[in-house]
Amino acid sequence: MKVRVIGAGLAGSEAAYQLSKRGIEVELYEQKGIKRHSAFKTDDFAELICSNSLRSDDLYNAVGLLKQEMRTLDSLIMSAADKYRIPAGKSLAVDRLGFSKYISDVIRNTANIKVINMEVCDLDENIPTIIAAGPLCEGKLADKISQLCGKDFLHFYDAVSPIVEKDSIDFNSAYYKSRYDDENPGDYINCPLNKEEFNEFYEAIMNAKKIEVHDIDDEKYFEGCMPFEEMARRGYKTLLFGPMKPVGLEHNGIRPYAVVQLRKDNAIDTLYNVVGFQTHLTFPSQEEVLKKVPALRDVHIVRYGVMHRNTYINSPNIINKYYQFIDHPNLFIAGQISGVEGYVESAASGLYAAINMSQYLNGEIKYELEPDTMIGAMANYISDTNIVKLEPMNANFGIFRCSYDGPKADKKKYYVEHSLQKVNEYAKYV
C-alpha cells in the first residue's frame, strides 16, 4: 500500500509519520526545496512561522487536553515539542529551529517515507492521498481543490468575530431579545452598557494594541467587514449607530446606552459569536476590551477575532468526520486547509486523518473518536452539516459533547478523565 501526502507542515509531517508506523509506504511531497513562500525561512518541515508558543499545556485547558490525546497516540509533533521545550510558564513553547530540524530528520530517515521535492499541480483521485497543503495553498493545486469542492472552496482575507462560551456570560446583566421583538425571548443574548460603561469600553478600544500585519496578509478585506476598532476611530458614536446600536433592544422598559449582541454559534447552544466585532486587535487586547462589558467580565473566549489571509474548504457536506472527501473517498484532507485552526489542531488533524486513511485502506474505518474527545470533537465540528458556513476555531470545550450533571467546578476535570480514557482505549486498536 502507498499513500501520497501533499505538504510537510505540521499536519503533513504528522500524517506521514503515522502512516509509516502502520507499515504504509508514503510519498511526501514538499515544494520548499525548489519553491519557498516568503513566510518561511528554512527548508525544514513543520516550520512554525508565527510564534514559538504551542499555547497552554494545562491539562484542564482544551488545547492542553488535545496535546495529551496526541501524546497518547504517539504524535511526532508532540514528541518534538516536548524534546525542544523552553521555559514559558504554563505554555508549551519550543526552540523553533530545533523543533523543525528534529521532525525533518525523523521523516527523512524513516525507511518507508520518500520525500519528493516538487510542486504538486494536480491530484490523481485513484491514488490514496492526504492533502495537507496549508493555509497558503495557491496556484494549480488550489484550483484543483476548488474543482473538487465547487463554490465551497474559500480563499480570502478572513474576517471573523470572537466566539465565547455561554457558561461564562453573566445573565444577571445579559438578557435574550431580538431587535424590536416583544413577543418571545428572542434569538440574541444582549449585553447592555450604560453611558459610563460605554465610555470605559470606548477608551479601552482607543488604547488597544493592533496586530502587526505580515506580508502574507497584505490583502483587501471583504466589503462590510471593517474592524470594529476602525469604526470606533471614526467617531465616538459610530459603534452606537453600528453593531452596538441599542434601538429596539429595550429591557424591563429601559433602553441601554449601548448593547453588545451575541448570536448562537452551534446547535448545542454552548458557543456564541460577538456580532459585528471582527477585529485586528491583539488577543490580550480583545480580552481586555470585551471584559469592559459587565455581562462579559468573566468571559471565556474560545476563538479570538482574526483578520488574515486564510485558505480552507467549507468542510461541512464536503468531508466526513474522518477528514475524508465524501465524493472522492481516496482523498483525505488535514491541517488548516481542512477547516481547523492553529498549529496543534493542524497536527492533530493530520494524525487522525492518517489513522483513518490506514483503516480505510484495510477495508473500513472501524474505530473512531467521538465528540467526547477533543480530537473527535474537532472532526465532528468541521463536518457538522448543520453549519452553513464554517468559521475555523481552536480546540475548545464548547464543541465537546459529553453528558455531565455534576458541579460546574468539576466539569472540566470530568471531561479530561473521560476523554483520556476513551483515547487510551482507541489506541489499543489503531
DSSP 244-312: T--TT--BTTB--SEEEEEEE-STTS-EEEETT----B-HHHHHHHHTTSGGGTT--EEE--EEEEEEE
Is residue 247 predicted with pLDDT exceeding 80? yes
Query: Which secondary-structure segment (H or E) carries 2?
Result: strand 2-6
Average pLDDT of the residues of the chain: 88
Domain of residue 322, CATH code: 3.50.50.60
Same domain, 137 and 236: no
At 160 the pLDDT is 72
Percent of the chain scored above 90 by pLDDT? 61
Same domain, 108 and 226: no
SS3 of residue 13 by DSSP: helix
Scanning the structure block, which residue is given the C-alpha cell 504504509?
A: 24
Same domain, 221 and 346: no
Same domain, 346 and 405: yes
**For residues 397-425, average pLDDT:** 93
Answer whether residue 26 is part of any domain. yes
**For residues 128-139, average pLDDT:** 87
At 217 the pLDDT is 42
Weakest-pLDDT range from 42-46, 218-222, 263-267, 327-331 = 218-222
At 152 the pLDDT is 60
Same domain, 178 and 151: no
Same domain, 171 and 133: no
Answer whether residue 236 is part of any domain. yes
Answer whether residue 114 is part of any domain. yes
Distance CA 162, CA 306 (A): 8
Weakest-pLDDT range from 9-18, 247-256, 266-275, 333-342 = 266-275
Task: Answer for the pair 353, 323: CB distance below 8 angstroms, yes or no.
Answer: yes
C-alpha cell recorded at residue 69: 490525546
Same domain, 347 and 277: no
Distance CA 226, CA 291 (A): 21
Domain of residue 170, CATH code: 2.40.30
Same domain, 356 and 298: no
Predicted model pTM: 0.75
Answer whether residue 429 is part of any domain. no
Domain total in the chain? 2
Residue ending a domain, choose from 278, 304, 330 = 304
C-alpha cell recorded at residue 224: 462590510
Weakest-pLDDT range from 3-17, 137-151, 159-173, 382-396 = 137-151
Max mean pLDDT among 89-93, 314-318, 370-374, 394-398 falls in 370-374
User: Exposed (0-12), middle (13-18) or buried (19+): which is 354, by Cβ within 10 Å?
Assistant: buried
Answer whether residue 430 is part of any domain. no
At 71 the pLDDT is 98
SS3 of residue 37 by DSSP: coil
Answer whether residue 279 is part of any domain. yes
**Phi, psi dihedrals of residue 382, rounded to the nearest 5°:** -75, -10
Task: Answer for the pair 356, 376: CB distance below 8 angstroms, yes or no.
Answer: no
- Spell out the residues 6+ positions from residue 162 whose beta carbon is closer than 8 angstroms to its own: 273, 274, 277, 279, 286, 290, 301, 303, 304, 305
Check residues 92 and 17 and name the one with the higher pLDDT: 17
Instruction: Name the E strands within 41-150.
Output: 53-56, 85-86, 91-94, 113-116, 129-131
Structure confidence at residue 393 as a pLDDT band (50, 70, 90): confident
Structure confidence at residue 40 as a pLDDT band (50, 70, 90): low
**For residues 137-146, average pLDDT:** 84
Structure confidence at residue 51 as a pLDDT band (50, 70, 90): low
At 8 the pLDDT is 95
At 72 the pLDDT is 98
Answer whether residue 391 is part of any domain. yes
**For residues 378-402, average pLDDT:** 90
Same domain, 12 and 60: yes
Same domain, 90 and 17: yes
Task: Answer for the pair 344, 183: CB distance below 8 angstroms, yes or no.
Answer: no
Check residues 313 and 329 and name the one with the higher pLDDT: 329
Same domain, 244 and 366: no
Scanning the structure block, which residue is given the C-alpha cell 474505518?
A: 365
At 327 the pLDDT is 94
Residue ending a domain, choose from 304, 323, 340 = 304
Is residue 328 predicted with pLDDT exceeding 90? yes
At 308 the pLDDT is 64
Answer whether residue 264 is part of any domain. yes
**Residue 91 β-bridge partners:** 56
Task: Answer for the pair 338, 6: CB distance below 8 angstroms, yes or no.
Answer: no
Instruction: Please list the alpha-helical segments (H only) found in 27-95.
Output: 62-72, 76-83
Range of the structural domain that residue 415 is part of? 2-155+312-424
Residue ending a domain, choose from 249, 279, 304 = 304
Same domain, 298 and 343: no
